[in-house]
Amino acid sequence: METEIKKQKLLLVDDNELTRIYFREVFWLHGLEYKYDLTMAENLEQAHELITNPHTRPEIIFLGLVMPIRIGQQTVTTPEAGFNLLRRIKTDPELKDIQVIIFSAFDNLEYKEKAKSLGADAYLVKGQNMPQDILQFVQNILEKNTYAQ
């Protein structure tokens, strides 16, 4: 009798298609599709649906900050979009234990401090990590619950 290994659910929330392709390739090239169930959301609505559904809820979320949101009749691209989703996750009793890693091109102290104050578990800057570093980071964050940057 074979035992089924429970895959860790990961979610990447990013409107940039190249970032989504990069993430999928990193996990595929390292043969980790047996260990992780990687899902992509290209907008905040998709992300919210996946996060709030107990069957698709991830253990770890890689969250881009600068995302489009609708304000009235306009669509605006702003880092506040990512921060708002982070705030909603970390203040919801059912979601607050999800590990949220900010994955942003912005490498500034203000954003890092804001992310930490809102409950982010880590802040990674796009382009500053090799693929194997991201995989190791995922493993480390699953093993412990400490803020990293």
Average pLDDT, the chain: 86
Model confidence pLDDT, tens digit, residues 93-124:
999 999 999 999 899 999 999 999 999 998 98
Q: Which two tokens stand for residue 82?
A: 């990512």
Question: Which pLDDT tens digit goes with each residue over 12-64?
Answer: 999 999 889 988 888 887 777 777 888 999 999 999 999 999 999 999 999 99
Assigned domain for 147 exists: no
Asked whether residue 59 is domain-assigned, the answer is yes
The CATH number of the domain holding residue 23 is 3.40.50.2300
**Torsions phi, psi of 20, nearest 5?**
-65, -40
Give the residue, 126 or 75, on which the prediction is more confident. Answer: 126
Listing DSSP states for 80-102 in one string gives HHHHHHHHHHHHSTTTTTSEEEE
Whole-number pLDDT of residue 115? 97
pTM given for the model:
0.85
Look at the chain and report how many structural domains it folds into.
Answer: 1
The answer to whether position 119 is within a domain reads: yes
Residue 78 phi, psi (nearest 5):
-155, 150
On whether residue 90 sits in a domain, the answer given is: yes
Residue 127, domain extent: 8-133
List phi, psi (to 5°) of 18: -65, -40
The answer to whether position 149 is within a domain reads no
